[in-house]
Amino acid sequence: MATETQALRKSGSTLKISSGWFAAGVSFQRALTVLSDGAFKLFAYVSLEADRRTGRYEATQTDLARVLGKSRRIIGKYIAELERKGICSISSGRNQYARNIFEILDDYWPYNRPSIIEEADGKEEDAYVAAARDSFLATGCTGGSFGAGDARTAKILEKRGVSLGELQDALFLGACRKYVSWLNGGSPEPVVSLRYFEPIISEIREQPFPHGYREYLQSKVRQMTRLWEELKPAEGWPNSIDGASR
């Protein structure tokens, strides 16, 4: 990999996209030789989505099954293999709907992690990002991941002066609209990026919610989440459902 990088520099070659890359080096190649094809695919996905500072990533088995096109049972086997082969340490969720916490171990993580002191110093400044992550994943209409790109987006929003309240309002309004689309037979693709909600943030900053509307939307999202979980395995779709038209 280093030789290839040097060759690219000498040739004057440039990347088409300058950001969003993962340092897939010797450890990545080693994982390819010790894991089954399916487990390596899961490892590759977790590596791409993991926080670069910590090497951690959170997702439910259901979300991973959807992203990788496998059953939850098979995903469970791949997760066990990652832990058994010493690739990741995994804190399992209480059930198939709870998030598993993956931490890629040092032998397979190409980035330096912050020391305990550095990590403690960063906790306060990352509070906005942590709240954004929790709210984003709580909508239930996402792909189940909040990666490094989403963390960067959250920091940009914070610098732009977007309050957590405004961000959370946008997340609930966007989630409500997404569920209405799904339940009316729209394409059941999940939201995969925090940037999806940026136009809605602008919309809300121009016209803030009236008193009590936030609580109404939160209740509506919970209601539609339950309805979607009940109806999504069925072949048919509801003809229509009333949702947030704001």
Average pLDDT, consecutive stretches of 10 residues, N- to C-terminus, the chain (246 residues): 51 63 83 94 93 88 89 92 91 72 90 63 69 89 84 89 92 93 84 92 90 88 85 49 50
pLDDT of 31-88, one tens digit each?
999 999 999 999 999 998 998 888 899 988 888 998 999 998 999 999 999 999 999 9
Give the Cα separation of 223 and 33 in Å (integer). 46
Q: At what angle do helices 164-183 and 198-206 cross, to 10 degrees?
A: 120
Q: What is the pLDDT of residue 237?
A: 41
Instruction: Using alpha carbons, select from 155, 236, 166 the residue that is nearest to residue 205.
Output: 166
In the chain, count of helices (H) and strands (E)? Answer: 11, 3
- In terms of Cβ atoms closer than 10 Å to its own Cβ (0-12, 13-18, 19+), residue 117 is exposed
Q: What is the pLDDT of residue 197?
A: 94
* pTM attached to this predicted model: 0.49
Place of tokens 């940026």: 198
Percent of the chain with pLDDT over 90: 31
Identify the CATH class of 22-113: mainly alpha
Ranges of each domain in the chain = 22-113, 118-231
In the three-class reduction of DSSP (H, G, I as helix; E, B as strand; rest coil), residue 16 is classed as coil
Q: What is the pLDDT of residue 6?
A: 54
Q: What is the pLDDT of residue 91?
A: 83
Q: What is the pLDDT of residue 127?
A: 87
